A and B are shown apart, each in its own frame.
Chain A
């Protein structure tokens, strides 16, 4: 069973701003020396090198969201806005808050001060246990919810809802549970994230696939519920893979980048990739992330009124088109 987040950064246990995933890179995102550089191999051993790197990565356990296996072998830049720091600041001033899709609670746990009333939802059982163990001692109420199901909270109870890489944003429900004046602050996976790898293995992707998860969709969905979008930023973040084993490991763990990835099935492409990395020093890709803050206006009721019930017939705008973690869990 692979892990569940929309992104490797989510549950590394070290979190935002500390250069966690996928590599344990520095804050600057600067490339760390790869293993290949640290342990020079002779030129004649290229084939054996390839086989060994792939075999090692194909056998490595990929459960959970700890990406430390990649330390020194791949790096990823961090978004400049510093999500963990942003939410820590808001949480310190909130009274009643919710962390939607908390994962194992890793990011929330980084906040030095939590609101007096803090709830966290999660739908994947292994993460639930981790979140409860990590957050319970800090007074956070962890609640199990159904993926994509209505939120199990009364109307207008939270002054802050945060979420890092949610499976999909339930905009109607977010608007419903926010108090007037309350805010939703979320970092999400953006469009065409890590598509250099996707396209290396699968070929050019159609425009509609590249456009999935565009922040404009999030804005439209938020505004359709009556929320005001007060901040929306997107960044492309450089990733560098320093050996083919790092790519194999990453693709096994983050299974939606190349759906159905298998080291044997893609052996020829992997060999080409290996040669390319040996020639160029690294394979470069880019992840995309956006930050969105949406507020519920102080005066107006959320639109349209839900009457306390979810309108199941209302069309939902797919924000996270592939509902990444959902796919992982099945």
Chain B
């Protein structure tokens, strides 16, 4: 699964928990916050920026 996010959007998005910038993992189809250790899914092209829906990463 790959995911695309417009560059301008990636620039202004932030982790709702840490407010740190997000990194796009195209392969995983996720937006990753390294600071809070959360990976947010992108479903049907929609970034799902809910802490409850995020996958915890190490």
Please state if A142 and B46 are interface contacts (CB–CB under 8 Å).
yes
Task: Place the interface of chain A in its size category.
Answer: 20 to 34
Does A285 touch B at the CB level, under 8 Å?
Answer: no
* Of the residues A96, A119, A132, A152, contact of B16 by C-beta under 8 Å: A152
User: For B43, what are the chain A residues with a Cβ–Cβ distance below 8 Å?
Assistant: 144
Q: A153 on the interface (CB 8 Å rule)?
A: yes
Q: Is the CB of B51 within 8 A of A117?
A: no
A101 to B13, CA, bound (A): 16
Instruction: Tell which of B8, B16, B19 touches A146, judged by Cβ atoms closer than 8 Å.
Output: B16
Main secondary structure of the interface of B (DSSP, over half): mixed
**In-complex Cβ contact of A154 among B19, B49, B52 (8 A):** B19
What's the nearest-Cβ distance from chain A to residue B15, in Å? 7
Known A132-B44, A154-B19, A308-B19: A149·B12 in contact at CB below 8 Å? no
Identify which of B11, B19, B48, B51 gathers the most chain A CB atoms within 10 Å of its CB. Answer: B19
Number of chain B residues whose Cβ lies closer than 8 Å to a Cβ of chain A:
26
Question: Total number of A-B contacts with CB less than 8 angstroms?
Answer: 68
Q: Does chain A have a CB within 8 A of B50?
A: yes
Cα separation A142 to B50 with both chains bound (whole Å): 14
Closest to A133 in B: B44
Please tell me which one of the listed residues A132, A146, A153 contacts residue B46 in the complex, with CB atoms under 8 A apart.
A132
Contact B12 A146 (CB under 8 A): no
- Determine the chain B residues whose CB is within 8 A of the CB of A96 once the complex forms: 8, 12
Chain B 17-32 interface residues, beta-carbon cutoff 8 Å to A: 17-21
B14's partner among A116, A154, A158 (CB-CB below 8 A) is: A154
Say whether A309 faces chain B, with CB atoms less than 8 Å apart: yes
Closest residue on chain B to residue A96 by CB atoms: B12
- A168 part of interface (Cβ distance < 8 Å): no
**Contact indicator B19/A145 (Cβ below 8 Å):** no
- Interface hits, A53-97 → B, CB 8 Å: 96
Q: Which of A146, A158, A308, A309 contacts B51 (CB 8 A)?
A: A146
Chain A residue with Cβ nearest B33: A152
- Closest residue of chain B to A129 (Cβ to Cβ) is B44
Known: A96-B12, A141-B9, A154-B13. A146 touches B21 (CB 8 A): no
Considering the complex, give the chain A residue whose CB is closest to the CB of B8: A117
CB atoms of B19 and A132 under 8 A apart: no
CA distance A144 to B20 in the complex (A): 17
| A157 interface hit (Cβ, 8 Å) | yes
The residue from B6, B17, B18 contacting A141, defined by CB atoms under 8 A apart: B6
Residue of B nearest to A98 (CB): B12
Inter-chain pairs besides A143-B46, A152-B49, A309-B18, 8 sampled, C-beta below 8 Å: A96-B8, A117-B8, A117-B9, A136-B45, A144-B46, A144-B53, A153-B14, A154-B13
20 contacts between A and B (CB under 8 A): A119-B9, A128-B46, A132-B45, A132-B46, A136-B45, A142-B46, A143-B46, A144-B43, A144-B48, A144-B53, A146-B16, A146-B50, A146-B51, A150-B17, A152-B13, A152-B16, A153-B13, A154-B13, A154-B21, A308-B19
- Chain B residues close to A by CB (< 8 Å): 5-6, 8-9, 11-21, 43-53
